Amino acid sequence: MTAPRDVRLVRAPSLHAYQRHLAAVSLEQSPAAIRVTAVLVPTRAAAGQLRRTIERTVLASGQQALVKAEERTLIWVEPLPDGTRAYTKMYRRRGLLDPVRHRFVPYRVEREYRLLERLHAGGVPCAEPLSWSHGRNRRHGWHEILVTREIPSAVPLKDHLRAIPGGAPDLAPLFGVARRMHACGVAHGAFYAANVMISVPAGDPARFHVIDLAHGCRFATDIVGTAPAEYDVLDMLRSVERVMPIDDRERWVAGYGLGMGGTRRLLAKLEGHRLERPWRHFRRMETDTREFLARVTRPTRAGRR
């Protein structure tokens, strides 16, 4: 990010007044030259919105493009030397005990990096992991950073289904991707339409890519047919159902490869499956416990991460 060259104090009676001021100054000089050291706004919510406005302005002024700016999450993309773009995700302002906690469990981004690394090595369509890091600075506090290669011309499946409600793609290949993911010993833990990217090349079938495995778990062996794998399949059906009807669910899940009997047995569990809290947290706790017990009773084979 470009270092600011000018420091100024701005007193604004309201958020909108400051936004007008920022726009006016941006016409005179590069927004990257502006750094606000103090801004008076009426409410905490307005202060948060103001901070996001500043970050969007500063990031957009360079080669980076801001995707999300929240209190604890910052996401942006920027070009790589090979002509592709890096997708960078920062979890920031972590708790004071965060460094201590990570003496016992992996960093969130480390966990996601290792899962993506395994999927990518196994040929499962996913975001290619490039690097991860953690640290502390004055602006973001304790933070973790995950860098992946951006999937070109792809959008979240959830957004795609909402935009084309009557022309949704065949989702059977998506469940085929889920089968390959589980065959690699990876349980997603949040296998929702929002966590799958879709690209639709001209004249070709839709392609699905797995992203966001922050809640994922990895096992030493194939987990097809286990509870964590079934939870992923049922989670996806429930998340798609929030956007469009799932009348074709039997044909879709047939793409997972369980056979007619296995597909029907799995779909019979859909009625009692809920995405809401606390049910999804109970399932994640169960999967985490299974992962821990699997590591204790059968350590990961050498060469598999």
Q: pLDDT tens digits for 66-79? A: 888 888 999 999 99
* pLDDT score recorded for residue 168: 81
- Give 144's contacts (C-beta < 8 A, 6+ positions apart): 90, 91, 94, 107, 108, 109, 110, 132, 133, 134
Is the per-residue pLDDT at 99 higher than 50? yes
Average pLDDT, the chain: 83
The CB density around residue 188, as the number of other CB atoms within 10 Å, is: 29
pLDDT band, residue 191 (cuts 50/70/90): very high
pLDDT band, residue 48 (cuts 50/70/90): low
Is the per-residue pLDDT at 210 higher than 50? yes
Pick the CATH number of 27-33+41-149 from 3.40.50.720, 3.30.200.20, 1.20.1530.20, 3.30.499.10: 3.30.200.20
* pLDDT score recorded for residue 57: 54
Tracing tokens 């469940």 back to the chain, one arrives at 175
Dist CA 186 CA 231 (whole Å): 12
* pLDDT score recorded for residue 298: 73
- b/e per residue 22-37 (b: at least 16 CB within 10 A): beebbeeeebbbbebe
Dist CA 191 CA 229 (whole Å): 10
Is the per-residue pLDDT at 52 higher than 80? no
pLDDT band, residue 31 (cuts 50/70/90): very low
pLDDT band, residue 304 (cuts 50/70/90): very low
Task: Give backbone dihedrals phi and psi of 77, rounded to 5 degrees, phi first.
Answer: -120, 150
Residue that wins the pLDDT comparison between 247 and 15 = 247
> What is the mean predicted confidence (pLDDT) over 256-271?
97
Count Cα atoms within 13 angstroms, Cβ side, for 185. 18
| Strand runs labelled E in 33-179 | 34-39, 65-69, 73-79, 85-91, 129-137, 141-149, 155-156
Dist CA 302 CA 258 (whole Å): 29
Paired with 133 in beta bridges are 145
Is the per-residue pLDDT at 103 higher than 90? no
| pTM of full prediction above 0.85 | no
Is the per-residue pLDDT at 2 higher than 50? no
Dist CA 196 CA 208 (whole Å): 7
Distances (CA, A) of 43 to 22, 69, 152: 19, 18, 39
> What is the mean predicted confidence (pLDDT) over 30-37?
43
Write out the DSSP string of 94-134.
--TTHHHHTTTS--HHHHHHHHHHHHHHTT--BPPEEEEEE
User: Which sequence spans correspond to the domains of the chain?
Assistant: 27-33+41-149, 155-297
Residue percentage of the chain with pLDDT more than 70:
76
Overall fold of domain 155-297: Transferase(Phosphotransferase); domain 1 (1.10.510)
Task: Give backbone dihedrals phi and psi of 146, rounded to 5 degrees, phi first.
Answer: -120, 130
Dist CA 232 CA 158 (whole Å): 16
Is the per-residue pLDDT at 232 higher than 60? yes
